[in-house]
Amino acid sequence: MSTPGLPRRLSVIVPTRDRPELLRQALASIRAVEAQDFSLEILVGDNGSLQETKDVAAEFGAVHLLAQGVGASAGRNAGLAAASGDYIAFLDDDDVWLSGHLRAHFDALDADPTIDGVLGQVIYADRDLNPSGPPSPAVHPGDGDEMLRKMLSGWFPQIGTLVVRKPAAQAAGLFDPKLLGGQDLDWMLRIARKRRLAMTMTPCVLYRGRPPGSYDALQRRRVGFDRQVFLRHALPEWRIWKSLHAFGSAYSLTLWHFYQYFIEAADDRARRGLRFDAAKAIFAAVSVFPLRGVYHAVKPGTPLNQAVRRALAPHVGASLRQEKS
């Protein structure tokens, strides 16, 4: 608990690897929201090798920590081990906090001591941080089991919007370093299952996305991790599902964005005459939902079937290249 009369201390953990310019934007956005009634301890968990990363951390009064291991989990775990604040928050090194972040979180935590953590809204943006849509989620996800079901049904809260009391963070433990994808959702689900999370409909983070279709290999790796995270948490919480159908629907919703991504990627590659890349994307889509994928691949008129037909028609790519010339 915070000491009465003294500013609350919030530890903000920022994992990073050799992206000093992006890190500078992230740390500047954190310092910009600091206020008289709460102080921020910034912990940069670095598993990279650049001296400039250390320099950027020092520029913003952040503690630079060497992280052992691969991926964001390593940086976050280094930060958790060193955190001295009464509250814990996170920010990825390529995202930024918005000016309205934290205040509504602390208001909710102060108003109800039984709340262990508060999530906020995220705004998706392009590489230049230009917003690409409205704040998400647009509808409140509910509380308790309702929120847990949403988190296991395709809603992935952005960890940069979370503020959690330190005892709840300690109870959740370290991030799983074996999960190269979905480790943040896995950690938040540990809290949602055993503790009480709340939601403030306040835009908190600008989330820098990748250009569409630019990360096929990464998405192929992440499918298995997200499937693992779902089963790890959904099966022990069988009580929250009203039926086997509800459980199956939640599983489908969890992986649906991968399925859609690969269908769109297959169509794009086929249109550009990249038949081998289109075939890989088609196979990836089918691997997400094998029965559904095969059915959609052969059913005339479906987006996946159209991608298959384009991939098998070499004149499509050729004609498009002629149009550009």
Q: What is the CATH number of the domain that holds 185?
A: 3.90.550.10
Average pLDDT value for residue range 255-283? 94
Q: Which residues pair with 64 in a beta bridge?
A: 44
Q: How confident is the model at residue 217 (pLDDT cuts 50, 70, 90)?
A: confident
Instruction: Provide the pLDDT for residue 317.
Output: 45
Is residue 17 located within the same domain as residue 60?
A: yes
Q: Name residues whose C-beta falls within 8 Å of residue 298's C-beta, 6 or more positions apart in sequence.
A: 305
Angle at 238 between CA 235 and CA 241, to 5 degrees: 120
Q: Which of 160, 176, 208 is the last residue of a domain?
A: 208
Is residue 78 located within the same domain as residue 193?
A: yes
Residue with the two structure tokens 């055993």: 194
Instruction: Provide the pLDDT for residue 320.
Output: 45
Please check whether residue 297 lies inside any domain of the structure: yes
Model pTM score: 0.91
15 has pLDDT over 60: yes
Pairing of strands 87-90, 163-165: antiparallel
Between 217 and 160, residue with greater pLDDT: 160
Q: How confident is the model at residue 2 (pLDDT cuts 50, 70, 90)?
A: low
Q: How confident is the model at residue 36 (pLDDT cuts 50, 70, 90)?
A: confident
236 has pLDDT over 50: yes
Instruction: Provide the pLDDT for residue 180.
Output: 86
Q: How confident is the model at residue 3 (pLDDT cuts 50, 70, 90)?
A: low
Is residue 243 located within the same domain as residue 266?
A: yes
Is residue 129 located within the same domain as residue 73?
A: yes
123 has pLDDT over 60: yes
Instruction: Provide the pLDDT for residue 4.
Output: 54
Is residue 232 located within the same domain as residue 176?
A: no
Number of domains in the chain: 2
Average pLDDT for the chain? 92
321 has pLDDT over 60: no
Is residue 295 located within the same domain as residue 313?
A: yes
- Cβ(267)–Cβ(303) below 8 Å: yes
Please check whether residue 3 lies inside any domain of the structure: no
Is residue 221 located within the same domain as residue 140?
A: no
Full residue range of the structural domain in which residue 290 is found: 216-324
Is residue 237 located within the same domain as residue 126?
A: no
If one counts every other C-beta atom within 10 angstroms of the C-beta of residue 111, the result is: 9
Q: Name residues whose C-beta falls within 8 Å of residue 160's C-beta, 6 or more positions apart in sequence.
A: 89, 90, 91, 92, 95, 97, 122, 204, 205, 207
Is residue 103 located within the same domain as residue 54?
A: yes
Q: Which of 183, 208, 233 is the last residue of a domain?
A: 208
Please check whether residue 1 lies inside any domain of the structure: no
Rg (CA), the chain: 22
Angle at 9 between CA 5 and CA 14, to 5 degrees: 165
Q: How confident is the model at residue 319 (pLDDT cuts 50, 70, 90)?
A: very low
Please check whether residue 2 lies inside any domain of the structure: no
322 has pLDDT over 90: no
Is residue 173 located within the same domain as residue 48?
A: yes
Q: Which of 158, 177, 208 is the last residue of a domain?
A: 208
89 has pLDDT over 60: yes
Is residue 41 located within the same domain as residue 177?
A: yes
Is residue 260 located within the same domain as residue 203?
A: no
316 has pLDDT over 50: no
